[in-house]
């Protein structure tokens, strides 16, 4: 029988120490890079990402985050990697080190969501602030993606790195709202059950819209590859299900989630184009094979077919290489997919 995950006691002293350093770093105040790098060697404590969540949110409340944040975080991680492994090269870093950064950014997002577990009226007033805070997580992720779990992220984007991290993190906000919208907690792995029981708020919708906007900003529309953010999102069931639960949260989802509506529309269109291309390619190949077969028969009419060749001509053709169809019904959404009809948000785009 599976056991429930152990709860680690929260250490307020540790949190305050990390919060002080994280706040100084995010705000660009005087901070000791050597001290902060040594403190970030061990990310297993929940207080570490939560301290950065608070620092990012507090900075976002004051205004736009400072422009040098991404570069300085990238330099910080390079220095940290050098202290830990004697080199800044990604290849020398241990897998646990890379995976820790995946979990760090997922926990940062979860921390901002926890700080904003409020009513819709309150969160509506915090909309701009929340977008800055979630954007801040993407900014830090951009500086760190070289030292995250998948090799392909070094050549990709920050939003792709966050999509990957949230998809396989041990505890993930992608399960929030599962039970809230009719899912059965017993259908979820014990590892994610606590997350599945947690209800969604308007902050979850704002997060999804920020993610969608970042995916659209990459300009990519390729669905048959997971090498970039758009294709990863298109094929990731967890992310697509999360987006649909966001849609179910508000009846006016088109006005609250304009970027998500546009992204889902582009995903549907990209699947249509990919399926049409594969179908067209198979048709051309079939005609070519038929033409070659007619010529061969004219030249070798006198040669009888063997039994194996006769069976092969009767066998049905198997189409390969076609991408999976667009997701229409996902877990925890009760079969209510995104409408394929262009919405007002799309018509205005």
Residues 213, 117 share a domain? no
| DSSP letter assigned to residue 212 | H
Residues 159, 18 share a domain? yes
Alpha-carbon gap, residue 51 to 14, rounded angstroms? 9
Alpha-carbon gap, residue 203 to 112, rounded angstroms? 9
Residues 221, 121 share a domain? no
Domains of the chain: total = 2
Alpha-carbon gap, residue 128 to 43, rounded angstroms? 29
Residues 158, 239 share a domain? no
User: Where is the domain boundary, 142, 170, 198?
Assistant: 170
Q: How many CB atoms lie within 10 A of CB 309?
A: 9
The confidence score (pLDDT) of residue 23 equals 96
Residues 151, 267 share a domain? no
Mean pLDDT by 10 residues, the chain (349 residues): 55 93 92 89 89 97 95 95 94 93 96 96 97 98 94 92 93 94 92 94 97 96 91 95 95 90 95 87 57 47 41 36 40 43 35
Residues 266, 150 share a domain? no
Residues 33, 95 share a domain? yes
Encoded tokens for 127: 């909309």
Residues 111, 236 share a domain? no
Residue 293 belongs to a domain: no
Encoded tokens for 104: 């760090």
Residues 274, 162 share a domain? no
Residue 1 belongs to a domain: no
Residue 181 belongs to a domain: no
Contact (CB, 8 A) for 101 and 76: no
The confidence score (pLDDT) of residue 251 equals 86
Domain assignment of residue 125, given as a range: 12-170
User: Where is the domain boundary, 122, 151, 170?
Assistant: 170
The confidence score (pLDDT) of residue 285 equals 55
C-alpha distances (whole Å) from 249 to each of 158, 244, 261, 339 are 27, 9, 14, 15
Residue 71 belongs to a domain: yes
Residue 255 belongs to a domain: yes
Alpha-carbon gap, residue 220 to 38, rounded angstroms? 38
User: Where is the domain boundary, 170, 194, 215?
Assistant: 170
Residue 328 belongs to a domain: yes
The confidence score (pLDDT) of residue 293 equals 53
Residue 295 belongs to a domain: no
Residue 297 belongs to a domain: no
Alpha-carbon gap, residue 93 to 147, rounded angstroms? 8
Residues 332, 272 share a domain? yes
Residues 216, 163 share a domain? no
Residues 212, 162 share a domain? no
């Amino acid at each position: 029988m599976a056991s429930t995950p152990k709860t680690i006691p929260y250490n307020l002293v540790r949190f305050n120490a990390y919060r002080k350093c994280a706040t100084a770093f995010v705000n660009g105040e005087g901070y000791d890079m050597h001290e902060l790098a040594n403190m970030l060697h061990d990310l297993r404590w929940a207080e570490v990402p939560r301290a950065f969540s608070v620092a990012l949110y507090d900075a976002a409340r004051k205004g736009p985050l400072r422009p040098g944040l991404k570069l300085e975080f990238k330099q910080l991680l390079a220095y940290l990697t050098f202290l830990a492994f004697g080199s800044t090269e990604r290849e020398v870093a241990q897998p646990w080190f890379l995976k820790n950064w995946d979990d760090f950014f997922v926990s940062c997002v979860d921390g901002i969501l926890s700080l904003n577990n409020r009513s819709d009226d309150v969160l509506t007033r915090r909309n701009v602030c929340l977008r800055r805070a979630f954007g801040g997580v993407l900014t830090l992720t951009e500086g760190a993606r070289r030292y995250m779990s998948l090799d392909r992220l070094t050549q990709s984007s920050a939003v792709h790195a966050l999509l990957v991290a949230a998809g396989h993190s041990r505890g993930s906000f992608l399960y929030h709202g599962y039970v809230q919208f009719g899912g059965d907690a017993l259908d979820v792995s014990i590892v994610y059950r606590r997350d599945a029981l947690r209800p969604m708020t308007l902050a979850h919708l704002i997060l999804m819209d920020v993610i969608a906007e970042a995916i659209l900003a990459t300009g990519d529309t390729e669905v048959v590859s997971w090498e970039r953010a758009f294709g990863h999102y298109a094929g990731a069931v967890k992310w697509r299900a999360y987006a649909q639960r966001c849609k179910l949260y508000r009846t006016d989802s088109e006005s609250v989630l304009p970027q998500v509506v546009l992204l889902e529309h582009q995903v549907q269109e990209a699947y249509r184009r990919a399926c049409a291309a594969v179908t067209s390619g198979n048709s051309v190949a079939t005609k070519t094979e038929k033409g070659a077969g007619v010529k061969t028969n004219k030249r070798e009419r006198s040669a009888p077919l063997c039994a194996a060749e006769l069976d092969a001509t009767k066998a049905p053709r198997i189409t390969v290489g076609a991408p999976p169809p667009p997701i229409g019904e996902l877990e925890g959404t009760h079969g209510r997919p995104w409408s394929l009809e262009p919405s007002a948000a799309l018509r205005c785009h």
